[in-house]
């Protein structure tokens, strides 16, 4: 049995796999405010979640001392063989997922300044699991690793070269999702699998990745998870002049600015209504419609940019919560990509595909479900058996 842990800033998501089969999944969210746990079994049926007790955890890593004993009971006689973790930042050196050692943890600690909101939680979860069961193999799976194949020219900001060498560069994220999609393309979209494909991971976090023969050559996310597309609460592309203006002339503190860019912008900021596309699409509020329009406009604009990086395009894949479920969003983005040769099949799109482009369309479009946890489970199994 392989366990998968995704420790976020205020939530911890978990899953347990037997080979390719997910036996249990769930999450604890509201950590630091009102923590609540939920869990489901392999057919989606609700399970009694871990009991958070009278002194509930306030951080994701504090969930593990409750979660692991709970999982032991729920998994019956099945032994937990290893734990895999999603780690947001692997830096320049970690181009592959790795088995956790004290040395690796030390190196990953030095990357905290690159991802201060996420990396500490990822690492704290690994350390806590190590304290609870030092013999349990653990594997770190990096969100950045998949993009290390992008050429230097795609990773550079036009800043002094020393900064690039120090690590101020475009890393790209959502790598586990793109790696999963790349792995299933030959089976699910064989005609485009080895061609030029833009994958649109549109969830609460959103980004695009340019794949050439299933290898990442560019992405819309850069140094942090703020860059590129507007997201549910994050701003996406922003002129750095705006940041300087807010700091110098609006007297904003760094903390207030961080809160603005990560938690009060994007769809929530633009609409003033909700961060969730389900609410925005159901709303008649003018600002909600405008927020969705900005999202679709920016998505199409960035698809154009990645098409230039790929020197043409053979297919587009929509994935993640919005990409898999929001037909009107896919329709709007696809309409804006007609000039590229994409002809949407409206009724296939309403049925969520998988193929949503017309038979004669020069650019094919698909809806494919992503599974980052499955990717982590596969790597964790492989890396914990080898050593």
Contact at 8 Å (CB) between 14 and 26? Answer: yes
Residue 35 is a binding residue for ligand ADP (CB under 6 A): no
Alpha helices in 12-118 (DSSP H): 64-74, 102-109
Q: Give the shortest CB-310-to-ligand ADP separation in angstroms.
A: 24
Number of residues that bind ligand ADP (CB under 6 A): 13
Residue 228 is a binding residue for ligand ADP (CB under 6 A): no
Residue 343 is a binding residue for ligand ADP (CB under 6 A): no
Active site residue 143: yes
CA contacts within 13 A on the Cβ side of 85:
33
Q: Which of residues 54-113 bind ligand ADP (CB under 6 A)?
A: none
Cα dihedral value 5, 259, 267, 219, nearest 10: -60
Burial class from Cβ neighbours inside 10 Å (0-12, 13-18, 19+) for residue 276 reads middle
Candidates 203, 228, 236, 353; binder of ligand ADP (CB under 6 A) is 203
Q: 373 vs 380, which CB is nearer to ligand ADP?
A: 373
End-to-end CA distance of the chain: 17
Candidates 321, 333, 353, 383; binder of ligand ADP (CB under 6 A) is 321
The piece of 179-187, 256-264, 318-326, 342-350 that touches ligand ADP (CB under 6 A) is 318-326
Q: 82 vs 206, which CB is nearer to ligand ADP?
A: 206
Q: 74 vs 206, which CB is nearer to ligand ADP?
A: 206
The piece of 19-27, 149-157, 190-198, 203-211 that touches ligand ADP (CB under 6 A) is 203-211
How far is residue 355's CA from residue 82's CA, in Å, rounded to a whole number? 37
Candidates 91, 195, 205, 315; binder of ligand ADP (CB under 6 A) is 205
How far, in Å, are 117, 263, 264, 265 from residue 259 at the CA level? 11, 5, 7, 9
The piece of 36-44, 79-87, 316-324, 379-387 that touches ligand ADP (CB under 6 A) is 316-324
Residue 305 is a binding residue for ligand ADP (CB under 6 A): no
CA 283 distance to own-chain centroid = 26
User: How many residues in total does the chain contain?
Assistant: 387
Q: Give the shortest CB-54-to-ligand ADP separation in angstroms.
A: 29
Q: Which of 43, 143, 194, 227 is catalytic?
A: 143
Residue 301 is a binding residue for ligand ADP (CB under 6 A): no
Kindly report the CA angle at 61 between 58 and 67, in degrees rounded to 5?
A: 95
ω into 27 cis (within 30 of 0): no
Q: 98 vs 143, which CB is nearer to ligand ADP?
A: 143
The piece of 18-26, 69-77, 314-322, 332-340 that touches ligand ADP (CB under 6 A) is 314-322
3-state secondary structure 310-370: HCCCCEEEEEHHHHHHCHHHHHHHHHCCHHHCECECHHHHHCCCCECECCCCCEEEEECCC
Catalytic residues: 143
Residues within the interface to ligand ADP (CB under 6 A) = 203-205, 232, 276-278, 281, 320-322, 325-326
């Amino acid at each position: 049995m392989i366990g998968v842990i995704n420790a976020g800033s205020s939530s911890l998501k978990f899953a347990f796999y037997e080979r390719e089969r997910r036996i249990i999944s769930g999450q604890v969210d509201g950590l630091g405010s009102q923590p609540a746990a939920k869990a489901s079994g392999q057919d989606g049926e609700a399970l009694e979640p871990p009991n958070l007790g009278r002194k509930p955890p306030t951080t994701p890593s504090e969930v593990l001392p409750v979660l692991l004993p709970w999982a032991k009971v729920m998994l019956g006689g099945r032994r937990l063989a290893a734990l895999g973790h999603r780690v947001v930042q692997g830096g320049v050196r970690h181009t592959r997922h790795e088995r956790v050692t004290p040395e690796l943890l030390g190196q990953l600690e030095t990357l905290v300044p690159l991802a201060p909101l996420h990396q500490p939680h990822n690492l704290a979860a690994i350390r806590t699991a190590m304290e609870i069961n030092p013999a349990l193999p653990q594997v770190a799976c990096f969100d950045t690793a998949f993009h290390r194949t992008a050429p230097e020219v795609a990773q550079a900001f036009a800043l002094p070269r020393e900064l690039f060498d120090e690590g101020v560069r475009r890393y790209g994220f959502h790598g586990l999702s793109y790696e999963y999609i790349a792995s299933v393309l030959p089976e699910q979209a064989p005609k485009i699998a080895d061609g030029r494909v833009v994958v649109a991971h549109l969830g609460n976090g959103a980004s695009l990745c340019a794949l050439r023969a299933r290898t990442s050559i560019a992405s819309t996310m850069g140094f942090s998870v703020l860059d590129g597309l507007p997201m549910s609460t994050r701003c996406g592309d922003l002129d750095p002049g705006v940041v300087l203006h807010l700091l110098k002339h609006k007297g904003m503190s760094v903390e207030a600015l961080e809160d603005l860019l990560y938690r009060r912008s994007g769809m929530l900021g633009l609409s003033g209504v909700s961060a969730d596309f389900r609410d925005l699409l159901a709303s008649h509020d003018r600002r909600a419609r405008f927020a969705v329009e900005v999202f679709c406009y920016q998505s199409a604009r960035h698809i154009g940019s990645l098409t230039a990086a790929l020197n043409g395009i053979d297919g587009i894949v929509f994935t993640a919560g919005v990409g898999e479920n929001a037909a009107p969003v896919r329709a709007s983005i696809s309409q804006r990509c007609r000039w590229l040769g994409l002809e949407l099949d409206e009724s296939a799109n309403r049925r969520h595909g998988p193929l949503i482009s017309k038979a004669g369309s020069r650019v094919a479009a698909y809806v494919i479900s992503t599974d980052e946890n499955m990717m982590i489970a596969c790597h964790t199994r492989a890396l914990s058996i080898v050593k």
